Amino acid sequence: MSRLIDALVLVRYYVSARRLQRLGCRAEIDTHQQRQWRRLREQLFAHAPFYAARSQLRFEQLPVIDKHSWMHHFNDINTAGVMLEQALALAEEAERTRDFSASLNGVAVGLSTGTSGARGVFLASRSERLRWAGTLLAKMLPDGIFAPARVGLLLRAGSTLYDTLSGGLRLRFQYFDLAAPFADVLFKLDQFKPTILVGPPSVLALVAEAVLAGTIRVAPTRVIAAAEVLDPVDAERISATFGVPIEQIYQATEGFLGHTCHHGTVHLNEDCLIVEQDWIDRATRRFAPIVTDLYRHTQPVIRYRLNDILVEREQPCPCGSPFMAIERIEGREDDIVWLSSAQGTGLVPLFPDLLSRALLNAAPSASDYRIEQHGLDLLRLAVDPELSGDQQQRVRQAVAACATRAGACVPQIAFDARIEHSATHKCRRVRRLFNVSQGMHA
């Protein structure tokens, strides 16, 4: 009976999300956001101690928070009376046992992967999870929830919600636990034969390799990347293997943030979110999003600054959507490489996308790579297949030219032989592994 009720609630949220997708212009989006914010505000200021103490402030006066402050004020921000110690214990037990069905006070608890340096705990009520599912289905299944499909979900953490998502014989979902031996994952995936395949790009690339090797025979008609930045290397390999363009879901601990339209452009979900732009480099349209989720009450996400680097699209998307269009998601601010300025004072940023393009242009045969900054003047690179001496020299020259164009000192470049692969850890191809402020004073 409860499953039937959940299914009916999910359908109601699905219909509501389809209706909100028809918002036709910026004015309609703004009106909807302000109306929903007023509703959310009443609940927050009544039940969340952190915001009750700030009830006299206007929206733009509320503090901008990040993961550290969100977790520091966890007990006062959530409205379910859940203590951080309880939530952490339950989430860590779920990760250990791979049983994600437990809850606290009817609230599901999850643990983020911690790619930004600190793991986060997130809470969601049953209603919020069903709304998330209904919204996701409305945006990602244009043929509707009654059209036949087999959706394979290659994920690091599961949820009993996937049982609710399966609508009988026509729409089926199956979760594949990436913590299991990957050979077992491939075997089960081969048996399921998904028509829609969803997973992190690095994992989808491994599935593509298995298909090319003849290990498995799956031929999805849609492939959707999630949980990691979609790198051009992975995108090309996956798309070529399956013969379909790869789509994207932009999602984080903080919610379902965006997805690609039929033109391949990522649009932010401004029917569910208020998105403010904290400009990193206005000239190149790079910004960090400050998001407010208009529907999360249990653990509110209010003016939460993500450390993702988004590049706003310069021209409107041909699809005509009024929702903010993103040219690309580059990675995290933590992954910006900072080099000494050639002028002798200060630091100069090199964005992950620029370094990736320089390497791939110089080494087009690369099927995988890592760029790691270990010091203010030291980059370590690993490329698969391993480069010859001449190829390494071309990469050095390309990276040096990239640094020179940016007005930075040319760093030392060392090459490592191996790239470690893991299905349970997010792939970050460009990473800064030292503290910039410490590097300046070393």
Q: What is the mean pLDDT of the chain?
A: 87
What is the pLDDT confidence band of residue 441, given thresholds at 50, 70 and 90?
Answer: very low
Model confidence pLDDT, tens digit, residues 168-218:
547 888 889 887 778 899 999 999 999 999 998 888 988 999 999 999 999
pTM listed for this prediction: 0.83
pLDDT for 425 = 65
- Is it the case that residue 313 has pLDDT exceeding 70? yes
pLDDT for 5 = 83
Model confidence pLDDT, tens digit, residues 18-36:
999 999 999 999 999 999 9
Model confidence pLDDT, tens digit, residues 218-238:
999 999 998 888 888 889 889
What is the pLDDT confidence band of residue 302, given thresholds at 50, 70 and 90?
Answer: very high
The whole-angstrom separation of Cα 18 and Cα 14 is 6
Name the CATH architecture for the domain at 336-440: 2-Layer Sandwich (3.30)
- Distances in Å between the alpha carbon of 66 and those of 288, 305, 332? 11, 5, 13
- Is it the case that residue 350 has pLDDT exceeding 50? yes
